Structure 1
Amino acid sequence: MAMFTLLLSILVLPADTVTGRIVDTAGHAIPQAIIEVAELGTSVTTSADGTFRLSVAPGRYTLAVRRHGYAPVVREIVVAAATPAELQIMLTPSAFQLEPLTVTATRQPLPSQSSPLPVTALAGAELRNAQGVSLAHVVEALPGARAISTGMQIGKPVIRGFGGPRVLVLENGSRLEDYSWSDEDGPSVETAFVRRIELIRGPASVLYGSDAVGGVINVIPDQLPDAGGGAGFTRTGFMLSGATNNVEVAAAGQAEGATRNFGWRVNAIGRGSSNLHTPDGELDNTGFGALNGDATGGWRWASGSNLTFRVVHYGGEFKLLEANAAPGEAGGPERKAGDNRIQITGQRPLGGGAWRLEGKGQLQAHSLIEVSDDSTGTESEAFNLQLKTASLDLLLHRGGTTFGMTGIGQTNDASGREPIVPDASTISAAAFALQRWSLANGRWAVLAGLRGDAQRLSAHQNDSLGVAAQDRNAQAWSGNVGVVFMPASPVSLTLNVGRAWRAPTLFELFANGPHIGEARYELGDSALKPEVGGDVDLGLRWNDRRVRFEISAYYNKLSDFIYVTPTAAFIDSLRVYQYTQAEAEMLGAEASVEAEIARGFVARGRLEAVGGTNLAAHEPLPLLPPRRAAVSVAWRDRLSVEVDNYATPTRLNPLDVPTEGYTLLNLGGGTDLRLFGRDMRLDISLRNALDERYKSFLSRYKEFAYDPGRNLIIRLSSGLID
């Protein structure tokens, strides 16, 4: 039996009101099961007798049914206008919590097993246990994902060795713009309230354009509540947490409700901490404070149309450990990040429901400020960067076909005493098409797409950087073909071939000054070409009720790979590093397995390795993650033990700082409680339980500080934050 029941047989229901009942294998009702209508972004919860009710317009829909302790079910239905009819859906017990659908791989719902792209998701208990202030550190729980860290509060995601501007971060399908070249600037996303995080390992420019060379991270918020045609309601939730290492505290609140055809949600969270501690002692100037939140409201109409507005704020002040600072010295550099977004999404059925038009619009204002001492010892702004972006996506869906157009306008304003990049503006536009086929009674699944992009960058004159006013035009195409072959259940074979690209960043083009946080002087090159990569990915998957296994191997060849290299010149006693280009290659493999070894006991294991070479210089690419292996055993969602091993890097770039390998022990536990008339969840985790003294190869502090020591985290939640 497959690990989760995949029912893709088409049910024609003579109704525009879908009702049903969710039961177990014995026919008993399952309360609190969640039924999601993926195309509409809506969900309902079953009542005590296992029943549910959905009001939808005639058309084709994908239902995803999930409940903790059961394998999720995917069912495709066609709703026709007539008298109501009822569904009965059976869930089977399972220790696995595999996400049944992916929306990132095709920009519309697709069963995860049918995706030739290597897509994984973090949700449920695994997402809850990985929670933190940094998105990059949260997704490290997924295969192929790592983080370049600046302490515990700032991280940049790395996918298969690619990081910075080669990894694209989305929030509910809308791209987030930031200063990806900056090591101390992480994605401006709060993870406390999200439903799941999907990760594409490998190029995805055919769907998302520039920057998706290494992969894509899509942070997906929970769907708005739906009254289901019944009475209105309001629900609340909260979360309190504390951590011992840096005395970190967090408090979050959430409220949501629905009435008639309107649903709404408000989230808010505050976080703060003192200094980090390592087995060697305290690290000065490493605390932070953050305040994040969002508000969402949306309408759904009987015609099948919907419209949603969302306002998001992300902001914080993050202190940075200063290299070679005297112990106990007060003050130090500090980053102030702020991000405000207004998002509008909507969709409308066309042609009697055969077509679906989807639109996404976003206005984003992103700021990055560093405060540090100037030459006189007075604290002032080292730089102040303001990025403003407007984007619009139009998507047209019919069955397995998607056509899309996207446009982006962006301005960058820079000020402060240290030159970083010139003021500039960018306009880009793209069009793409994607097609899915299911052949031979579902044994073959094919996905193919093609995209064309055009971009115009206008840089303003900046005498301090030596930049003359100039315009740069770039055109690029991307393509992807993938195949899934299922010779017999539960085995599937995958092959994916893709082409991706990215435009050079402003820093790579126009840098002319000391790099923040690095003892070097960097020079950009305004003649840099767009970076282009071609990828081949092979995979083998096994999915049944008791065992899940996946192994993948990949090869990526990049032309005009952009990198920085030292020169013989010095400016202000700093060695000059010059941005240049060359051919490069990246190859690696990932394997993961999970198995139910006894009732309620699940064992997991993973192994991943990546290597890369600069083919012009005949040397390894810099800062590639070392081999990682992890094994864990968990009893339901009550107890867990994990051993995480990181190997000593052996293929080092001349610029790399070597570190030793290490092994970490992580413990976890949790229980459900009933307090003050509410259902609550208590989670406790102990990270680096043995207080291991180590330096991560991907830490920016590794030359002068150890990584954090033992950390006990306690979290109490109730209601909707799970």
Structure 2
Amino acid sequence: MKKFIIALFLGFSAMLQAQNTLSGIVTDIKNQPLKGISVYASELHKGTTTDENGKYSFINLPNGNLKLTFTFVGFGTQNKTITALLKQNILDVILEETIFQMDEVIVSTAFNKIQSQNVMKVEHQTMKELQRKGTATLIEGLATIPGVSQVSTGTSIGKPVIRGLSGNRVLVYSQGVRMENQQFGDEHGLGLNDSGIESVEVIKGPASLLYGSDALGGVLYFNPEKFADANTFKANFSQKLFSNTLGSNSSLGLKTSTDYWKFLARGSYNTHSDYRIANGDRVTNTRYNETDFKTGIGYSNAKFSSVLRYNYNKLDLGIPGDGPEASGAEQATSKQTGFPRQGVFNHLLSLNNVFFFQKSKLDVDLGYVANDRSEFEDSDVAILHMKLKTFNYDAKYHLPTIGKVESIFGIQGMHQTNTNSGEEYLIPDATTNDFGVFGTANYEWKTNVFQAGLRFDNRQITTIEHGIAGSEGYFKAIDKSFDSFNASLGYKTNLADDLTLRLNIASGFRAPNLAELTSNGVHEGTNRYEVGNSDLKTEQNVQTDVNLEYKNSHFEFFVNGFYNHINNYIYTSPTGVVLDNNEVFDYIQDNAKLYGGEIGLHFHPHPLDWLHYETSFETVTGKKQSRGVGSDFLPLIPANNWNNTIRTEFNIKNWLEDGFATMNLSTTFNQNNVSGFETKSNGYSLLNLGFGGKVKLGKMIFDVNLNGNNVLDKRYIAHLSRLKTDGIPNIGRNVVLGVNFNL
């Protein structure tokens, strides 16, 4: 046995010595070594940092090509590709100082370029940046990104809106897996907690080429937090307190890595009372509680990299009562939800793999999502209980590079079942199967990039008959198949050293969802009787985007414009019939168009290096082309918004580093372009303040944020609030205190 162990150890050591290695030195333009530079190989989920001499090293690297990203606050990001790794490799890097934010690697697009190399303009925000704004929920933070809004129900439920499109028209990805959680309904949120999420990427436009059906309007792509650097252990605790809801958000995370294995785990708990509006009253039963747990384990060697992640999310949500009595009645600060309420359990399991070959690689992502949703009216017996189980697979083969042409061939699919066990059925028991195949290529020369792709998809939907024909709650059996071809074409060029132009045209599609095909009853979220239409066709759109960016060391300017034409846009229309005091609405289709964009600038005057001024304006208009009655506006189109921020950066002696103070004025304009079933909305302006930084008290080091949102306690009702029809205002003043300890 002893000889066997020695032989095994020597063999293992020899195997380690045979692996490819990489080392180098990172310096600034003055040839001074830079300490603390993050060096990250995203495909291997492996990272390290430079030492005091600027040195870094990796072992156990695969054959073929390797992409590395070098990042550090205050320096421009560099993305390096090493082709045909040798046994020993040396890569020295020089980083240049920069005023503006880092040039991030974009994961949600096909070729994982840094943004300056990317054909498509993608908005990238870290969770740290969003949390510094003091928002209470993940979706509130996302709604601060130009072009992104939310359909909200109080503070607990929010659905993303990208350039006027929402619901099943916006696809959400987490852990490399598409989230499936009955997103056709507005009655519950994303089912994601911002703890354990590194950053979010927003594709504002059809992304069906890469993601298939439901990416017609855009994609929210959440990147999970990275593993610890090799041979390190890290522990982290964060706590946030909210004055308005008397809320608390606690999170504890642990992670460690070796050169081969990686592990992390994070748990968080979020609890809030009813939110208070500007006059001091609380909105009854907007309280909620959330438990979230994330864990992951990874392994990588010279042949492959594999990461297994799991996310459990439990939501206990109060549903505000109908009518004005929901505000100012039964004032309480309890965090125990009353009736009616929801219980939502979400399980997300993902397995992300990369197999490395000599000159190519294969990405294989597998995912399983189990969404369990219950609604309780006046007892603990669920009147509505739906279970949605989804299995996803996604395989992309990166072909060997030919000259300057990179190309990818891929297949995707989904198998999904929906089952009901409650007294009421919102949608029938059903099975959905997706299959798609696509190819895309990227050609880069000098400062120019050309990218094109083509895709075919099929979706098969089969439902089971339920109920008595002719009565409420009857669902007839359907067996439908939907096909779609889609393409994309993009071009990026530098018109000058600091001026970038991007042009994109892409098509997208969305197959009708189960509610649109089969509804037959009162939709509680809309207080109307909805009748589905099994003859609905696939929505098909074409969107044209233009992006112009100018950036130098002290001034940044961007303008984004888009035009989106949608054939067979699905919406509801009144029939004039009333059943049980509810108007009857049918699902119908017409062509529609949306257009608008975003414009903004970031000014950093010299020599006032501590001062930043940022401003942005966003607008979208949506119209449908109703048959025979001319043009009408689409519902749920966000109002125009103008955002202005003054930010200062500073250090205070030896106890506060990376300090910041912000003053933000967010102005939302009147929304008069409404559909026939909506009411107009008045504009409003909200003042928000922020202060924070890294505090050093002896050996204790922690980050602190103090934010005041709506500090003037403005009374307002957002146009996309689902409580708007009951005259219930949005949240009043909210002071948020957050601390983050690296233990």
User: Aligned to 2:129, what secondary structure does the other structure show?
Assistant: helix
Corresponding residue to 1:42 among 37, 41, 46: 46
Matched, 1:339 2:346: yes
Match in the other structure for 2:439: 433
Please, which moves more after superposition, 384-393 or 316-325?
Answer: 316-325
Superposition pairs for residues 522-537 of structure 1, below 5 Å? 522-537=530-545
The Cα shift of 1:605 comes to: 0.8
Match in the other structure for 1:299: 299
Q: For residues 74 and 131 of structure 1, what CA distance do their matches in structure 2 show?
A: 31
Please, which moves more after superposition, 143-152 or 457-466?
Answer: 457-466
Q: 1:16 to 1:655 in 2, by over 3 A?
A: same
Q: CA RMSD in A?
A: 1.9
Matched, 1:457 2:458: no
**Could you tell me which amino acid in structure 1 is paired with residue 639 of structure 2?**
P
Q: 1:672 to 1:595 in 2, by over 3 A?
A: same
User: Aligned to 1:224, what secondary structure does the other structure show?
Assistant: coil
Match in the other structure for 1:5: none
Corresponding residue to 1:634 among 647, 656, 662: 647
Matched, 1:17 2:21: yes
**Could you tell me which amino acid in structure 1 is paired with residue 69 of structure 2?**
A
Superposition pairs for residues 147-186 of structure 1, below 5 Å? 147-186=150-189
Q: For residues 678 and 54 of structure 1, what CA distance do their matches in structure 2 show?
A: 31
Superposition pairs for residues 567-606 of structure 1, below 5 Å? 567-597=575-605, 598-606=608-616
The Cα shift of 1:276 comes to: 0.2
Contact 1:592 1:606 survives alignment (8 Å):
yes
1:525-549 deviation line (CA, Å, top 9, x unaligned): 1111111111111121112222222
**Could you tell me which amino acid in structure 2 is paired with residue 334 of structure 1?**
R
Q: For residues 466 and 19 of structure 2, what CA distance do their matches in structure 1 show?
A: 64
Match in the other structure for 2:548: 540
Match in the other structure for 1:662: 684
Please, which moves more after superposition, 31-40 or 704-713?
Answer: 31-40
**Could you tell me which amino acid in structure 1 is paired with residue 452 of structure 2?**
A
Matched, 1:444 2:453: no
Match in the other structure for 1:648: 670
Which structure 1 residue ranges, 5 or more long, are not aligned? 1-13
Contact 1:275 1:287 survives alignment (8 Å):
yes
Contact 1:127 1:196 survives alignment (8 Å):
no
Q: For residues 175 and 644 of structure 1, what CA distance do their matches in structure 2 show?
A: 32
Please, which moves more after superposition, 42-51 or 630-639?
Answer: 42-51
The Cα shift of 1:125 comes to: 4.2
Match in the other structure for 1:409: 415
1:636-688 deviation line (CA, Å, top 9, x unaligned): 35111111000001212111122210001111110212357342101111100
The Cα shift of 1:88 comes to: 2.8
Matched, 1:699 2:698: no
Contact 1:116 1:484 survives alignment (8 Å):
yes
Q: 1:113 to 1:60 in 2, by over 3 A?
A: same
The Cα shift of 1:556 comes to: 0.8
The Cα shift of 1:133 comes to: 5.8
Q: 1:161 to 1:66 in 2, by over 3 A?
A: same
Q: For residues 298 and 15 of structure 1, what CA distance do their matches in structure 2 show?
A: 19
Q: For residues 134 and 408 of structure 2, what CA distance do their matches in structure 1 show?
A: 34
User: Aligned to 1:278, what secondary structure does the other structure show?
Assistant: coil
The Cα shift of 1:382 comes to: 2.7
Contact 1:641 1:665 survives alignment (8 Å):
yes
Match in the other structure for 1:328: 330
Match in the other structure for 1:9: none
1:411-470 deviation line (CA, Å, top 9, x unaligned): 00123233211100011111111100013xx23211111111011111001125332322
Superposition pairs for residues 479-498 of structure 1, below 5 Å? 479-498=487-506
The Cα shift of 1:206 comes to: 0.5
Contact 2:133 2:707 survives alignment (8 Å):
no
The Cα shift of 1:592 comes to: 2.0
Contact 2:63 2:356 survives alignment (8 Å):
no
Contact 1:133 1:191 survives alignment (8 Å):
no
Superposition pairs for residues 49-448 of structure 1, below 5 Å? 49-55=53-59, 56-85=61-90, 87-106=91-110, 108-123=111-126, 125-130=128-133, 134-227=137-230, 232-280=231-279, 281-303=281-303, 305-324=304-323, 325=325, 327-328=329-330, 331-350=338-357, 352=358, 354-373=359-378, 378=379, 380-398=381-399, 399=401, 400-439=406-445, 442-448=446-452
Q: For residues 634 and 451 of structure 2, what CA distance do their matches in structure 1 show?
A: 32
**Could you tell me which amino acid in structure 2 is paired with residue 393 of structure 1?**
D
Please, which moves more after superposition, 14-23 or 114-123?
Answer: 14-23
1:56-90 deviation line (CA, Å, top 9, x unaligned): 223222221111232222222225324342x3323
Match in the other structure for 2:637: 624
Please, which moves more after superposition, 659-668 or 76-85?
Answer: 76-85
Q: For residues 469 and 563 of structure 1, what CA distance do their matches in structure 2 show?
A: 22
**Could you tell me which amino acid in structure 1 is paired with residue 458 of structure 2?**
A
The Cα shift of 1:130 comes to: 4.2
Match in the other structure for 2:652: none
Q: For residues 717 and 174 of structure 2, what CA distance do their matches in structure 1 show?
A: 31
1:81-106 deviation line (CA, Å, top 9, x unaligned): 24342x33233333322342212122
User: Aligned to 1:98, what secondary structure does the other structure show?
Assistant: coil
The Cα shift of 1:162 comes to: 0.4
Contact 1:131 1:191 survives alignment (8 Å):
no
Match in the other structure for 2:3: none
The Cα shift of 1:585 comes to: 0.7
The Cα shift of 1:252 comes to: 0.4
Q: 1:60 to 1:84 in 2, by over 3 A?
A: closer
Contact 1:15 1:84 survives alignment (8 Å):
no
Contact 2:215 2:510 survives alignment (8 Å):
yes
Contact 2:104 2:124 survives alignment (8 Å):
no
Matched, 1:614 2:616: no
Q: For residues 268 and 293 of structure 2, what CA distance do their matches in structure 1 show?
A: 6
Q: 1:431 to 1:131 in 2, by over 3 A?
A: farther
User: Aligned to 2:43, what secondary structure does the other structure show?
Assistant: coil
1:355-386 deviation line (CA, Å, top 9, x unaligned): 1011000111011111113xxxx564231111
Count residues with an aligned counterpart.
Answer: 692
Q: For residues 265 and 379 of structure 1, what CA distance do their matches in structure 2 show?
A: 36
Contact 1:246 1:275 survives alignment (8 Å):
yes
Q: For residues 352 and 98 of structure 2, what CA distance do their matches in structure 1 show?
A: 35
Contact 1:625 1:698 survives alignment (8 Å):
yes
Contact 2:127 2:194 survives alignment (8 Å):
no
Q: For residues 342 and 101 of structure 1, what CA distance do their matches in structure 2 show?
A: 24
Q: For residues 263 and 369 of structure 2, what CA distance do their matches in structure 1 show?
A: 21
1:189-223 deviation line (CA, Å, top 9, x unaligned): 22122121000010000000001111100000123
1:291-322 deviation line (CA, Å, top 9, x unaligned): 1011100111133x111111110111011211
Contact 2:602 2:614 survives alignment (8 Å):
yes
User: Aligned to 1:500, what secondary structure does the other structure show?
Assistant: strand
The Cα shift of 1:38 comes to: 2.9
Q: For residues 555 and 234 of structure 1, what CA distance do their matches in structure 2 show?
A: 49
Contact 2:672 2:681 survives alignment (8 Å):
no
Q: For residues 713 and 259 of structure 2, what CA distance do their matches in structure 1 show?
A: 54
User: Aligned to 1:277, what secondary structure does the other structure show?
Assistant: coil
User: Aligned to 1:694, what secondary structure does the other structure show?
Assistant: coil
Q: For residues 173 and 217 of structure 1, what CA distance do their matches in structure 2 show?
A: 11
Q: For residues 70 and 177 of structure 1, what CA distance do their matches in structure 2 show?
A: 38
